Amino acid sequence: MQQPFESPQAGPTAGPRPGAGARVLVVDDDPTVAEVVTGYLDRAGYTVDRADDGPGALARAAAHWPDLVVLDLMLPGMDGLEVCRRLRGHGPVPVVMLTARGDEDDRILGLEVGADDYVTKPFSPRELVLRVESVLRRARPATETPPLSAAGLTVDPAARRATKNGAELALTLREFDLLAFFLRHPGRAFGREDLMQQVWGWDFGDLSTVTVHVRRLRGKVEDDPARPRLIQTVWGVGYRFDPQGQEAG
């Protein structure tokens, strides 16, 4: 039987970690996985809450709103996708999804509902801690960074706030970072590998992650997402932000 995580040789290094002290909600119906993940996060300096099903996760989040959720996709009753939707309905919160298998459809579904990252079982608990740190690091507001504006869009990195024609945009962590990156580099084409490295901070990974986030972002910033003018596809290369909004030919 395949184990849900790889057995490490040693625990995480002691001492302060980026984002340490943040509250993390771990949601997994496998008590062994939940115990191991909780132990590693606790030793890394996080305050950890646990839940073993969807209703329990929502109740724990309502009692103590988390800074990040580690969420198993396959939960009894209410699955992780529905839990993610309901959490996001109450407020923005970064989500790292755990998937029981490497099926691409599962990963894309998780990203479609707004998961910021995912880890496929079996996984190393130390890798999961690093993913949590990475997501929380990017979730922290930037300091002394001026707002970015183009084509009716404004992104304020310090306030983690984005608007279109003055109306607030409900963006996930990665969507916000992706939009900010595009606004910083208008007119320049980037491959999906470049975006994964620059926006996600990953040197390698599933490039469908980038594709899904671009599609979700277009749905929020384009007047007609089916005919995008701002975030254009550059065939054979990747994507380009065009502040003039000229339809790609």
**Does position 83 have pLDDT exceeding 60, yes or no?**
yes
Question: What domains are defined for the chain?
Answer: 23-139 (3.40.50.2300), 148-241 (1.10.10.10)
pLDDT (tens digit per residue) in 182-204:
999 999 999 999 998 888 877 66
pLDDT digits (tens, 9 = 90+) for 157-187: 888 889 999 999 988 888 999 999 999 999 9
Q: pTM for the complete prediction?
A: 0.64
What pLDDT is recorded for position 20? 57
Give the pLDDT band of residue 13 (cuts 50, 70, 90).
Answer: very low
Task: Give the model's confidence band at 53: pLDDT under 50 very low, under 70 low, under 90 confident, else very high.
Answer: very high
Neighbours of 75 (CB within 10 A): 22
Helices 125-139, 31-43: axis angle to 10 degrees equals 60
Please give the structure tokens belonging to residue 167: 């109306």
